[in-house]
């Protein structure tokens, strides 16, 4: 990645264990495509339910050449979604799917743009 990871915690304290987990997930994204320019992850405490505990929203912004992937993952408020780590993993799984789709599309477009044999 050309720019270091930006990690923002909103409405909550910085969690070292979560920050390390997010760095690992960003490294996986960077491994899928070595042209990742930047990544900004926002973790926000989105609410609290007395039976289900805290709810967290993740926003992942991945900067690519001439493109940007933005994933917002917010669990529904009517049921528990597991730990903050599980919620983060679901958000990053979606970011990985979108990045893989983008990389495949780029390769296909480059292949189609090649001139045919002379």
Domain boundaries in the chain? 6-113
CA Rg, the chain, in Å?
17
Q: What are phi and psi of 3, to 5 degrees?
A: -110, 135
For residue 9, give the H/E element and its range: strand 6-10
Q: What is the pLDDT of residue 48?
A: 63
The tokens for 36 are 């990742």
Residues 14 and 110: their CA atoms lie apart, in Å, by 42
Q: What is the pLDDT of residue 69?
A: 97
How would you write the pLDDT of the chain (118 residues) with one tens digit per residue? 889 999 999 999 999 999 999 999 999 999 999 899 999 999 999 876 555 567 899 999 999 999 999 999 987 654 555 789 999 999 999 999 999 999 999 888 776 766 665 5
DSSP track, 52-117: TEEEEEEEEEEEETTEEEEEEE---TTS----HHHHHHHHHHHHHHHHHHHHHHHHHHHHHHSPPP
Q: Domain 6-113, what fold?
A: Double Stranded RNA Binding Domain (3.30.160)
Q: What is the pLDDT of residue 4?
A: 94
The tokens for 109 are 């477009």
């Amino acid at each position: 990645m050309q720019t270091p990871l930006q990690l923002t915690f909103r409405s909550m304290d910085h969690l070292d264990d979560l920050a390390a987990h997010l760095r690992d997930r960003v490294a996986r994204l960077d491994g899928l495509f070595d042209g990742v320019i930047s990544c900004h992850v926002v973790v926000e405490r989105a609410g609290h339910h007395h039976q289900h505990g805290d709810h967290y929203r993740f926003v992942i912004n991945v900067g690519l050449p001439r493109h940007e992937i933005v994933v917002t993952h917010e669990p529904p408020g009517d049921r528990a979604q597991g730990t903050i780590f599980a919620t983060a993993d679901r958000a990053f799984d979606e970011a990985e799917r979108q990045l893989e789709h983008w990389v495949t599309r780029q390769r296909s477009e480059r292949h189609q743009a090649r001139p045919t044999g002379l």
